[in-house]
Chain A
Amino acid sequence: MILIESLYKSYGNKNVLKNINLTFKEGEIIGVVGENGAGKSTLFKCMIGFENYDGLIKYDKGILKNVTGFLPTNPYFLSKITGLEYLQLVCNARNIKVSDLNKKNIFELPLNQYAETYSTGMKKKLALTGTLILNNEIFILDEPFNGVDIHSNIIIKELLLKLKELNKIVILSSHIFSTLNEICDKLHYLKNGEISKSVNKNEFSEIEQDMRGLEVGNMIDKLELQ
Protein backbone atom coordinates (compact mmCIF):
# COMPACT_ATOMS: atom_id res chain seq x y z
CA MET A 1 0.00 0.00 0.00
CA ILE A 2 1.14 3.53 -0.75
CA LEU A 3 0.17 6.22 1.70
CA ILE A 4 0.37 9.91 0.91
CA GLU A 5 -0.17 12.30 3.80
CA SER A 6 -0.23 16.11 3.77
CA LEU A 7 1.76 16.39 0.58
CA TYR A 8 2.68 19.90 -0.50
CA LYS A 9 4.73 20.96 -3.45
CA SER A 10 5.57 24.45 -4.58
CA TYR A 11 7.78 26.12 -7.14
CA GLY A 12 8.87 29.39 -5.58
CA ASN A 13 5.68 31.13 -4.45
CA LYS A 14 3.46 28.95 -6.60
CA ASN A 15 1.77 26.10 -4.77
CA VAL A 16 1.35 23.26 -7.21
CA LEU A 17 0.10 20.58 -4.80
CA LYS A 18 -1.76 21.37 -1.60
CA ASN A 19 -2.52 18.98 1.22
CA ILE A 20 -2.79 15.79 -0.80
CA ASN A 21 -3.92 12.76 1.21
CA LEU A 22 -4.31 9.54 -0.74
CA THR A 23 -4.05 5.79 -0.36
CA PHE A 24 -3.28 3.32 -3.15
CA LYS A 25 -3.90 -0.35 -2.49
CA GLU A 26 -2.73 -3.53 -4.20
CA GLY A 27 -5.08 -4.93 -6.84
CA GLU A 28 -6.57 -1.54 -7.65
CA ILE A 29 -6.43 0.64 -10.72
CA ILE A 30 -6.69 4.25 -9.65
CA GLY A 31 -7.21 7.13 -12.05
CA VAL A 32 -6.05 10.67 -11.38
CA VAL A 33 -7.83 13.20 -13.56
CA GLY A 34 -7.74 16.96 -13.90
CA GLU A 35 -7.36 19.79 -16.37
CA ASN A 36 -3.97 20.48 -17.98
CA GLY A 37 -1.65 21.96 -15.36
CA ALA A 38 -3.75 20.70 -12.43
CA GLY A 39 -0.68 18.98 -10.93
CA LYS A 40 -1.12 15.33 -12.02
CA SER A 41 2.37 14.90 -13.44
CA THR A 42 3.89 16.76 -10.48
CA LEU A 43 2.10 14.42 -8.09
CA PHE A 44 3.52 11.42 -9.96
CA LYS A 45 6.98 12.94 -9.98
CA CYS A 46 6.82 13.51 -6.23
CA MET A 47 5.75 9.91 -5.73
CA ILE A 48 8.69 8.49 -7.64
CA GLY A 49 11.18 10.94 -6.13
CA PHE A 50 11.85 13.13 -9.16
CA GLU A 51 10.68 16.17 -7.19
CA ASN A 52 11.26 17.25 -3.61
CA TYR A 53 8.15 17.83 -1.53
CA ASP A 54 6.83 18.46 1.96
CA GLY A 55 4.76 15.73 3.57
CA LEU A 56 4.87 11.96 3.60
CA ILE A 57 4.88 9.33 0.89
CA LYS A 58 5.19 5.86 2.33
CA TYR A 59 5.28 2.41 0.73
CA ASP A 60 4.88 -0.43 3.19
CA LYS A 61 6.91 -3.02 1.26
CA GLY A 62 10.28 -1.31 0.87
CA ILE A 63 11.82 1.30 -1.37
CA LEU A 64 9.12 2.56 -3.70
CA LYS A 65 11.39 3.63 -6.55
CA ASN A 66 12.98 0.20 -6.90
CA VAL A 67 9.67 -1.53 -7.61
CA THR A 68 7.98 1.21 -9.60
CA GLY A 69 7.55 1.39 -13.33
CA PHE A 70 7.06 4.99 -14.39
CA LEU A 71 5.71 5.96 -17.78
CA PRO A 72 6.09 9.72 -18.35
CA THR A 73 3.73 11.64 -20.65
CA ASN A 74 6.59 12.08 -23.08
CA PRO A 75 9.02 9.20 -22.54
CA TYR A 76 12.72 10.03 -22.57
CA PHE A 77 15.08 8.28 -24.96
CA LEU A 78 18.77 8.78 -25.46
CA SER A 79 19.88 9.59 -28.97
CA LYS A 80 21.49 6.81 -31.02
CA ILE A 81 19.98 4.04 -28.90
CA THR A 82 17.86 1.36 -30.54
CA GLY A 83 14.62 0.10 -29.02
CA LEU A 84 16.29 -3.19 -28.09
CA GLU A 85 19.21 -1.39 -26.45
CA TYR A 86 16.78 0.75 -24.45
CA LEU A 87 15.14 -2.38 -23.06
CA GLN A 88 18.57 -3.87 -22.31
CA LEU A 89 19.56 -0.64 -20.56
CA VAL A 90 16.54 -0.62 -18.22
CA CYS A 91 17.06 -4.32 -17.44
CA ASN A 92 20.72 -3.69 -16.60
CA ALA A 93 19.73 -0.76 -14.38
CA ARG A 94 17.53 -3.05 -12.29
CA ASN A 95 19.94 -6.00 -12.49
CA ILE A 96 17.36 -8.10 -14.28
CA LYS A 97 18.37 -10.73 -16.81
CA VAL A 98 15.97 -11.35 -19.70
CA SER A 99 17.10 -14.07 -22.07
CA ASP A 100 15.18 -12.91 -25.13
CA LEU A 101 13.99 -9.34 -25.14
CA ASN A 102 12.54 -9.73 -28.63
CA LYS A 103 10.02 -12.17 -27.20
CA LYS A 104 8.69 -9.43 -24.91
CA ASN A 105 8.04 -7.13 -27.87
CA ILE A 106 4.25 -7.49 -27.74
CA PHE A 107 3.65 -4.24 -29.62
CA GLU A 108 5.77 -5.50 -32.53
CA LEU A 109 8.05 -2.46 -32.49
CA PRO A 110 11.03 -2.20 -34.85
CA LEU A 111 13.49 -2.81 -32.03
CA ASN A 112 16.58 -2.53 -34.20
CA GLN A 113 15.79 1.07 -35.14
CA TYR A 114 16.86 4.09 -33.11
CA ALA A 115 14.15 4.86 -30.54
CA GLU A 116 14.39 8.58 -31.33
CA THR A 117 13.00 7.87 -34.80
CA TYR A 118 9.86 6.23 -33.39
CA SER A 119 6.48 7.95 -33.64
CA THR A 120 4.84 9.31 -30.47
CA GLY A 121 2.75 6.16 -30.02
CA MET A 122 5.68 3.84 -30.66
CA LYS A 123 7.80 5.68 -28.10
CA LYS A 124 5.03 5.28 -25.56
CA LYS A 125 4.72 1.58 -26.31
CA LEU A 126 8.48 1.06 -26.00
CA ALA A 127 8.58 2.89 -22.66
CA LEU A 128 5.60 0.87 -21.46
CA THR A 129 7.29 -2.38 -22.50
CA GLY A 130 10.30 -1.17 -20.50
CA THR A 131 8.21 -0.82 -17.35
CA LEU A 132 6.50 -4.18 -17.87
CA ILE A 133 9.65 -6.32 -18.24
CA LEU A 134 11.07 -5.17 -14.90
CA ASN A 135 8.71 -7.18 -12.67
CA ASN A 136 7.49 -4.00 -10.97
CA GLU A 137 4.96 -3.96 -8.14
CA ILE A 138 3.74 -0.42 -8.80
CA PHE A 139 2.90 1.20 -12.11
CA ILE A 140 2.57 4.96 -12.42
CA LEU A 141 1.44 5.74 -15.92
CA ASP A 142 1.05 9.34 -17.05
CA GLU A 143 -1.42 9.36 -19.93
CA PRO A 144 -0.62 5.86 -21.23
CA PHE A 145 -3.26 6.02 -23.97
CA ASN A 146 -2.10 9.28 -25.57
CA GLY A 147 -0.96 8.98 -29.17
CA VAL A 148 -1.41 5.20 -29.19
CA ASP A 149 -3.44 3.50 -31.94
CA ILE A 150 -6.75 1.72 -31.28
CA HIS A 151 -5.38 -1.82 -31.36
CA SER A 152 -2.59 -0.96 -28.93
CA ASN A 153 -5.08 0.86 -26.71
CA ILE A 154 -7.02 -2.38 -26.41
CA ILE A 155 -3.80 -4.26 -25.58
CA ILE A 156 -2.88 -1.67 -22.93
CA LYS A 157 -6.34 -1.92 -21.33
CA GLU A 158 -6.01 -5.71 -21.17
CA LEU A 159 -2.51 -5.35 -19.76
CA LEU A 160 -3.71 -3.06 -16.99
CA LEU A 161 -6.48 -5.46 -16.06
CA LYS A 162 -3.92 -8.28 -15.96
CA LEU A 163 -1.72 -6.19 -13.62
CA LYS A 164 -4.73 -5.66 -11.36
CA GLU A 165 -5.33 -9.41 -11.36
CA LEU A 166 -1.68 -9.88 -10.35
CA ASN A 167 -2.35 -7.64 -7.34
CA LYS A 168 -0.18 -4.76 -8.54
CA ILE A 169 -0.81 -1.10 -7.75
CA VAL A 170 -1.70 0.79 -10.92
CA ILE A 171 -2.03 4.57 -10.90
CA LEU A 172 -2.72 6.38 -14.14
CA SER A 173 -3.83 9.68 -15.55
CA SER A 174 -5.94 10.11 -18.64
CA HIS A 175 -8.45 12.49 -20.21
CA ILE A 176 -10.38 9.69 -21.90
CA PHE A 177 -13.34 9.00 -19.62
CA SER A 178 -14.66 6.06 -21.64
CA THR A 179 -11.39 4.22 -21.00
CA LEU A 180 -11.25 5.26 -17.35
CA ASN A 181 -14.79 3.93 -16.96
CA GLU A 182 -13.73 0.57 -18.32
CA ILE A 183 -10.66 -0.01 -16.20
CA CYS A 184 -10.47 2.17 -13.09
CA ASP A 185 -11.79 1.26 -9.67
CA LYS A 186 -11.55 4.76 -8.29
CA LEU A 187 -10.97 8.28 -9.57
CA HIS A 188 -9.35 11.25 -7.87
CA TYR A 189 -10.10 14.66 -9.32
CA LEU A 190 -7.17 17.03 -8.96
CA LYS A 191 -8.16 20.68 -9.31
CA ASN A 192 -5.76 23.59 -8.78
CA GLY A 193 -3.38 21.32 -6.90
CA GLU A 194 -5.97 19.90 -4.52
CA ILE A 195 -8.00 16.71 -4.53
CA SER A 196 -11.41 18.22 -5.11
CA LYS A 197 -13.28 14.93 -5.35
CA SER A 198 -12.64 11.18 -4.99
CA VAL A 199 -15.27 8.82 -6.36
CA ASN A 200 -15.90 5.10 -6.84
CA LYS A 201 -16.65 3.36 -10.13
CA ASN A 202 -20.35 4.17 -10.43
CA GLU A 203 -19.82 7.89 -9.76
CA PHE A 204 -17.25 8.77 -12.43
CA SER A 205 -19.82 10.79 -14.37
CA GLU A 206 -19.88 13.36 -11.54
CA ILE A 207 -16.26 14.26 -12.20
CA GLU A 208 -16.78 14.19 -15.94
CA GLN A 209 -19.64 16.69 -15.56
CA ASP A 210 -17.49 18.94 -13.37
CA MET A 211 -14.68 18.90 -15.91
CA ARG A 212 -17.00 19.69 -18.79
CA GLY A 213 -18.41 22.60 -16.77
CA LEU A 214 -16.33 25.39 -18.25
CA GLU A 215 -18.30 27.36 -20.83
CA VAL A 216 -16.75 28.02 -24.23
CA GLY A 217 -18.62 31.36 -24.43
CA ASN A 218 -16.89 33.95 -26.56
CA MET A 219 -13.39 32.46 -26.06
CA ILE A 220 -12.99 31.68 -29.76
CA ASP A 221 -14.04 35.17 -30.84
CA LYS A 222 -11.00 36.56 -29.03
CA LEU A 223 -8.76 35.00 -31.66
CA GLU A 224 -10.37 37.14 -34.38
CA LEU A 225 -9.88 34.31 -36.88
CA GLN A 226 -9.99 35.45 -40.52
Chain B
Amino acid sequence: MRFYFVIQYKRIIRILKEAGFNPYLAFCVIAIVFVLLSEGLFHNVMYANYIYSLFFLAFINNIGSIERNEFSKNIFSVVDYKKIRLLENCIIAIPFFIFLVYKQEYVIAFSSFLIGAVLSFFNKVNTLSFATPTPFYKQPFEFIVGFRKTFWMFILGYILTCIAISVGNFNLGIFALIITFLTAMLFYLKPEPLFFVWIHSDNSIKFLWKKIKMACLHSTFLSLPIFLMLVLFFPDKAFIVIIFEIIGMLFVVMSLLGKYVSYPTDINPTVGFTIGLTLFFPPLLLLIIPYFYFQSKQNLQSILK
Protein backbone atom coordinates (compact mmCIF):
# COMPACT_ATOMS: atom_id res chain seq x y z
CA MET B 1 0.00 0.00 0.00
CA ARG B 2 2.91 2.34 0.81
CA PHE B 3 4.25 1.66 -2.68
CA TYR B 4 0.97 2.92 -4.17
CA PHE B 5 1.51 6.35 -2.65
CA VAL B 6 5.21 6.34 -3.61
CA ILE B 7 4.14 5.66 -7.20
CA GLN B 8 1.53 8.44 -7.07
CA TYR B 9 4.17 10.86 -5.78
CA LYS B 10 6.57 9.83 -8.56
CA ARG B 11 3.80 10.33 -11.14
CA ILE B 12 3.15 13.89 -9.95
CA ILE B 13 6.88 14.67 -10.04
CA ARG B 14 7.13 13.27 -13.60
CA ILE B 15 4.06 15.18 -14.82
CA LEU B 16 5.47 18.45 -13.46
CA LYS B 17 8.92 17.78 -14.92
CA GLU B 18 7.45 16.92 -18.32
CA ALA B 19 5.49 20.18 -18.22
CA GLY B 20 8.82 21.96 -17.80
CA PHE B 21 8.51 22.88 -14.11
CA ASN B 22 10.88 22.32 -11.24
CA PRO B 23 8.60 20.06 -9.14
CA TYR B 24 9.55 21.54 -5.76
CA LEU B 25 9.17 25.08 -7.02
CA ALA B 26 5.84 24.06 -8.55
CA PHE B 27 4.66 22.70 -5.17
CA CYS B 28 5.47 26.08 -3.59
CA VAL B 29 3.67 27.97 -6.38
CA ILE B 30 0.63 25.68 -6.11
CA ALA B 31 0.50 26.26 -2.33
CA ILE B 32 0.74 30.04 -2.77
CA VAL B 33 -1.91 30.06 -5.53
CA PHE B 34 -4.16 27.91 -3.35
CA VAL B 35 -3.89 30.35 -0.45
CA LEU B 36 -4.38 33.39 -2.72
CA LEU B 37 -7.45 31.90 -4.41
CA SER B 38 -8.92 30.83 -1.09
CA GLU B 39 -8.31 34.29 0.37
CA GLY B 40 -9.75 35.87 -2.78
CA LEU B 41 -12.92 33.80 -2.47
CA PHE B 42 -13.41 34.61 1.20
CA HIS B 43 -12.68 38.26 0.59
CA ASN B 44 -15.00 38.82 -2.38
CA VAL B 45 -17.86 36.35 -2.27
CA MET B 46 -20.83 36.01 0.06
CA TYR B 47 -21.25 32.62 1.74
CA ALA B 48 -17.68 31.80 0.73
CA ASN B 49 -17.43 29.20 3.51
CA TYR B 50 -20.20 27.10 1.93
CA ILE B 51 -18.93 27.60 -1.63
CA TYR B 52 -15.42 26.65 -0.46
CA SER B 53 -16.71 23.51 1.15
CA LEU B 54 -18.67 22.66 -2.02
CA PHE B 55 -15.53 23.08 -4.15
CA PHE B 56 -13.70 20.70 -1.87
CA LEU B 57 -16.47 18.09 -1.96
CA ALA B 58 -16.79 18.35 -5.75
CA PHE B 59 -13.04 17.72 -6.00
CA ILE B 60 -13.22 14.74 -3.66
CA ASN B 61 -16.20 13.39 -5.62
CA ASN B 62 -14.20 13.65 -8.82
CA ILE B 63 -11.32 11.49 -7.63
CA GLY B 64 -13.89 8.86 -6.69
CA SER B 65 -14.67 8.13 -10.34
CA ILE B 66 -15.21 4.46 -11.12
CA GLU B 67 -12.63 4.42 -13.94
CA ARG B 68 -9.94 5.94 -11.73
CA ASN B 69 -10.47 3.44 -8.95
CA GLU B 70 -11.01 0.31 -11.01
CA PHE B 71 -7.28 -0.42 -11.12
CA SER B 72 -6.63 -0.20 -7.38
CA LYS B 73 -9.85 -2.06 -6.62
CA ASN B 74 -8.66 -4.84 -8.89
CA ILE B 75 -5.20 -5.30 -7.42
CA PHE B 76 -5.59 -4.50 -3.71
CA SER B 77 -7.48 -6.45 -1.07
CA VAL B 78 -10.85 -4.97 -0.04
CA VAL B 79 -9.41 -3.64 3.23
CA ASP B 80 -6.32 -2.09 1.61
CA TYR B 81 -8.44 -0.54 -1.15
CA LYS B 82 -10.68 1.15 1.42
CA LYS B 83 -7.65 2.33 3.39
CA ILE B 84 -6.14 3.84 0.23
CA ARG B 85 -9.35 5.68 -0.66
CA LEU B 86 -9.73 6.97 2.90
CA LEU B 87 -6.12 8.13 3.08
CA GLU B 88 -6.33 9.80 -0.35
CA ASN B 89 -9.45 11.73 0.62
CA CYS B 90 -7.88 12.78 3.93
CA ILE B 91 -4.67 13.99 2.25
CA ILE B 92 -6.72 16.11 -0.17
CA ALA B 93 -8.90 17.40 2.68
CA ILE B 94 -5.94 18.66 4.76
CA PRO B 95 -5.26 22.00 2.95
CA PHE B 96 -8.97 22.84 2.78
CA PHE B 97 -9.38 21.85 6.43
CA ILE B 98 -6.41 23.97 7.56
CA PHE B 99 -7.68 27.00 5.65
CA LEU B 100 -11.20 26.68 7.08
CA VAL B 101 -9.78 26.35 10.60
CA TYR B 102 -7.60 29.42 9.95
CA LYS B 103 -10.80 31.25 8.96
CA GLN B 104 -12.35 30.01 12.23
CA GLU B 105 -15.02 28.08 10.33
CA TYR B 106 -14.67 25.13 12.72
CA VAL B 107 -18.05 23.51 12.14
CA ILE B 108 -17.73 23.60 8.33
CA ALA B 109 -14.09 22.48 8.53
CA PHE B 110 -14.83 19.40 10.61
CA SER B 111 -18.08 18.47 8.82
CA SER B 112 -16.43 18.82 5.36
CA PHE B 113 -13.53 16.68 6.50
CA LEU B 114 -15.94 14.07 7.81
CA ILE B 115 -18.07 14.06 4.63
CA GLY B 116 -14.87 13.83 2.56
CA ALA B 117 -13.78 10.81 4.56
CA VAL B 118 -17.21 9.16 4.24
CA LEU B 119 -17.19 9.78 0.46
CA SER B 120 -14.16 7.50 0.23
CA PHE B 121 -16.57 4.60 0.66
CA PHE B 122 -18.60 5.61 -2.39
CA ASN B 123 -17.84 5.98 -6.07
CA LYS B 124 -18.81 8.96 -8.15
CA VAL B 125 -22.22 8.55 -9.75
CA ASN B 126 -21.76 7.19 -13.25
CA THR B 127 -23.38 9.59 -15.71
CA LEU B 128 -22.27 7.70 -18.81
CA SER B 129 -25.44 5.71 -19.28
CA PHE B 130 -27.23 8.47 -21.20
CA ALA B 131 -26.00 11.22 -23.47
CA THR B 132 -26.73 14.72 -22.20
CA PRO B 133 -28.46 16.63 -25.01
CA THR B 134 -26.55 19.67 -26.26
CA PRO B 135 -27.25 22.34 -28.88
CA PHE B 136 -23.92 21.63 -30.62
CA TYR B 137 -24.65 18.28 -32.30
CA LYS B 138 -23.82 19.54 -35.80
CA GLN B 139 -20.26 20.46 -34.84
CA PRO B 140 -19.38 17.86 -32.24
CA PHE B 141 -16.15 18.68 -30.51
CA GLU B 142 -14.83 21.01 -27.79
CA PHE B 143 -18.18 22.57 -27.03
CA ILE B 144 -20.16 19.37 -27.02
CA VAL B 145 -17.63 17.66 -24.72
CA GLY B 146 -17.10 20.73 -22.57
CA PHE B 147 -20.80 21.49 -22.26
CA ARG B 148 -21.55 17.96 -21.09
CA LYS B 149 -18.83 18.16 -18.45
CA THR B 150 -19.66 21.65 -17.14
CA PHE B 151 -23.27 22.42 -18.03
CA TRP B 152 -24.00 23.18 -14.38
CA MET B 153 -21.65 26.17 -14.62
CA PHE B 154 -23.91 27.68 -17.29
CA ILE B 155 -27.00 26.97 -15.23
CA LEU B 156 -25.22 28.72 -12.35
CA GLY B 157 -24.43 31.66 -14.65
CA TYR B 158 -28.07 31.99 -15.74
CA ILE B 159 -29.32 31.77 -12.13
CA LEU B 160 -26.81 34.43 -11.04
CA THR B 161 -28.05 36.68 -13.86
CA CYS B 162 -31.65 36.29 -12.66
CA ILE B 163 -30.53 37.15 -9.10
CA ALA B 164 -28.53 40.13 -10.47
CA ILE B 165 -31.66 41.44 -12.19
CA SER B 166 -33.95 40.86 -9.22
CA VAL B 167 -31.62 42.69 -6.80
CA GLY B 168 -30.51 45.26 -9.39
CA ASN B 169 -26.83 44.27 -9.11
CA PHE B 170 -25.29 44.84 -12.55
CA ASN B 171 -21.81 43.71 -11.45
CA LEU B 172 -23.16 40.32 -10.45
CA GLY B 173 -24.61 39.97 -13.96
CA ILE B 174 -21.21 40.78 -15.48
CA PHE B 175 -19.68 38.23 -13.11
CA ALA B 176 -22.11 35.62 -14.52
CA LEU B 177 -21.02 36.55 -18.06
CA ILE B 178 -17.37 36.17 -17.06
CA ILE B 179 -18.09 32.72 -15.56
CA THR B 180 -19.61 31.62 -18.90
CA PHE B 181 -16.59 32.67 -20.93
CA LEU B 182 -14.07 31.35 -18.40
CA THR B 183 -15.82 27.97 -18.54
CA ALA B 184 -15.73 28.01 -22.35
CA MET B 185 -11.99 28.79 -22.17
CA LEU B 186 -11.49 25.61 -20.14
CA PHE B 187 -12.83 23.56 -23.07
CA TYR B 188 -9.55 24.19 -24.87
CA LEU B 189 -7.21 23.31 -22.02
CA LYS B 190 -6.49 19.74 -23.05
CA PRO B 191 -5.24 18.94 -26.53
CA GLU B 192 -7.14 16.28 -28.45
CA PRO B 193 -5.38 13.10 -29.68
CA LEU B 194 -3.40 13.65 -32.88
CA PHE B 195 -5.93 11.64 -34.90
CA PHE B 196 -8.58 14.34 -34.50
CA VAL B 197 -6.40 16.98 -36.12
CA TRP B 198 -4.76 14.66 -38.64
CA ILE B 199 -8.14 13.64 -40.07
CA HIS B 200 -8.90 17.18 -41.28
CA SER B 201 -8.44 17.74 -44.98
CA ASP B 202 -8.09 21.52 -44.55
CA ASN B 203 -4.72 23.24 -44.32
CA SER B 204 -3.68 24.85 -41.04
CA ILE B 205 -5.07 28.30 -41.92
CA LYS B 206 -8.50 27.01 -42.90
CA PHE B 207 -8.51 24.64 -39.94
CA LEU B 208 -7.78 27.45 -37.46
CA TRP B 209 -10.33 29.85 -38.97
CA LYS B 210 -13.03 27.19 -38.86
CA LYS B 211 -12.18 26.56 -35.20
CA ILE B 212 -12.24 30.30 -34.44
CA LYS B 213 -15.62 30.67 -36.14
CA MET B 214 -17.07 27.78 -34.14
CA ALA B 215 -15.60 29.08 -30.87
CA CYS B 216 -17.17 32.51 -31.45
CA LEU B 217 -20.54 31.11 -32.53
CA HIS B 218 -20.82 28.58 -29.73
CA SER B 219 -19.60 30.85 -26.94
CA THR B 220 -22.02 33.54 -28.15
CA PHE B 221 -24.80 30.98 -28.08
CA LEU B 222 -24.02 30.02 -24.46
CA SER B 223 -23.65 33.60 -23.26
CA LEU B 224 -26.63 34.93 -25.23
CA PRO B 225 -29.26 34.49 -22.47
CA ILE B 226 -27.08 36.45 -20.02
CA PHE B 227 -26.19 39.06 -22.64
CA LEU B 228 -29.83 39.63 -23.62
CA MET B 229 -31.11 39.76 -20.06
CA LEU B 230 -28.45 42.29 -19.04
CA VAL B 231 -29.05 44.49 -22.09
CA LEU B 232 -32.81 44.34 -21.52
CA PHE B 233 -32.80 45.08 -17.82
CA PHE B 234 -29.79 47.43 -17.71
CA PRO B 235 -30.22 49.28 -21.05
CA ASP B 236 -28.12 52.24 -19.91
CA LYS B 237 -25.17 49.86 -19.42
CA ALA B 238 -25.64 47.93 -22.68
CA PHE B 239 -22.35 49.26 -24.01
CA ILE B 240 -20.44 47.72 -21.09
CA VAL B 241 -22.20 44.36 -21.67
CA ILE B 242 -21.20 44.44 -25.36
CA ILE B 243 -17.59 45.20 -24.43
CA PHE B 244 -17.50 42.27 -21.97
CA GLU B 245 -19.11 39.99 -24.56
CA ILE B 246 -16.43 40.87 -27.13
CA ILE B 247 -13.57 40.54 -24.62
CA GLY B 248 -14.97 37.20 -23.43
CA MET B 249 -15.06 35.90 -26.98
CA LEU B 250 -11.49 37.05 -27.56
CA PHE B 251 -10.41 35.16 -24.44
CA VAL B 252 -12.01 31.97 -25.78
CA VAL B 253 -10.23 32.49 -29.13
CA MET B 254 -6.92 33.02 -27.31
CA SER B 255 -7.44 29.82 -25.33
CA LEU B 256 -8.21 27.93 -28.57
CA LEU B 257 -5.08 29.21 -30.31
CA GLY B 258 -2.97 28.60 -27.20
CA LYS B 259 -3.86 24.91 -27.37
CA TYR B 260 -2.34 24.55 -30.83
CA VAL B 261 0.88 26.50 -30.15
CA SER B 262 2.60 23.43 -28.74
CA TYR B 263 0.22 20.80 -30.10
CA PRO B 264 0.17 17.77 -29.80
CA THR B 265 1.82 18.17 -26.39
CA ASP B 266 -0.03 19.82 -23.53
CA ILE B 267 -0.22 23.61 -23.31
CA ASN B 268 3.33 24.64 -22.46
CA PRO B 269 4.13 26.69 -19.32
CA THR B 270 4.93 29.85 -21.32
CA VAL B 271 1.53 29.75 -23.04
CA GLY B 272 -0.17 29.05 -19.70
CA PHE B 273 1.67 31.96 -18.09
CA THR B 274 0.78 34.28 -21.00
CA ILE B 275 -2.90 33.34 -20.76
CA GLY B 276 -2.77 33.99 -17.01
CA LEU B 277 -1.10 37.36 -17.58
CA THR B 278 -3.73 38.35 -20.15
CA LEU B 279 -6.49 37.59 -17.65
CA PHE B 280 -5.03 40.32 -15.44
CA PHE B 281 -4.39 42.71 -18.33
CA PRO B 282 -6.91 42.11 -21.17
CA PRO B 283 -5.47 44.66 -23.64
CA LEU B 284 -2.64 42.16 -24.13
CA LEU B 285 -5.18 40.08 -26.08
CA LEU B 286 -4.59 42.27 -29.11
CA LEU B 287 -0.94 41.20 -29.19
CA ILE B 288 -1.26 37.65 -27.93
CA ILE B 289 -4.03 36.48 -30.30
CA PRO B 290 -2.08 37.25 -33.51
CA TYR B 291 1.09 35.86 -31.94
CA PHE B 292 -0.63 32.59 -30.93
CA TYR B 293 -2.30 32.42 -34.34
CA PHE B 294 1.00 32.51 -36.25
CA GLN B 295 2.65 30.08 -33.84
CA SER B 296 -0.28 27.64 -34.12
CA LYS B 297 -0.42 27.97 -37.89
CA GLN B 298 3.25 27.13 -38.16
CA ASN B 299 3.02 24.31 -35.67
CA LEU B 300 0.04 22.68 -37.40
CA GLN B 301 1.60 22.88 -40.85
CA SER B 302 3.50 19.61 -40.33
CA ILE B 303 0.25 17.78 -39.49
CA LEU B 304 -2.14 19.49 -41.89
CA LYS B 305 -0.25 19.41 -45.16
Contacts and interface: CB of A to CB of B under 8 A. Distances in A.
Interface of A: 48-50, 63, 65-66, 70, 72, 76, 78-82, 85-86, 88-90, 92-95, 112-114, 116-117
A81 B196 CA distance: 13
A113 B131 contact: yes
A81 B140 contact: yes
Contacts of A80: 131-132, 144-145, 148-149
Interface of B: 128-129, 131-132, 137-141, 144-145, 148-149, 192-196, 198-202, 303, 305
B140 A76 contact: no
Given A65-B305, A72-B195, A78 B145 contact: yes
Contacts of A63: 305
Nearest to B136: A85
B145 to A, nearest CB: 5
A54 to B, nearest CB: 15
B38 to A, nearest CB: 29
Contacts of A90: 199
A169 to B, nearest CB: 18
Contacts of B195: 70, 72, 76
Contacts of B131: 80, 82, 112-114
Contacts of B199: 90, 93-94
A127 B170 CA distance: 49
A88 B137 contact: yes
Given A81-B145, A85-B144, A94 B303 contact: no
Contacts of B198: 48-50, 65, 70
Given A81-B145, A114-B128, A89 B140 contact: yes
B128 A116 contact: yes
B264 to A, nearest CB: 9
A48 B129 CA distance: 35
Nearest to B304: A65
B140 to A, nearest CB: 4
Contact of B196 (A72, A78, A88, A114): A78
Given A70-B195, A76-B193, A78-B145, 11 more contacts: A48-B198, A50-B198, A65-B198, A65-B305, A78-B141, A78-B193, A80-B132, A80-B144, A80-B148, A85-B137, A114-B128
A48 to B, nearest CB: 7
Contacts of A89: 140-141, 196
Contacts of A79: 145, 149
A86 B140 CA distance: 7
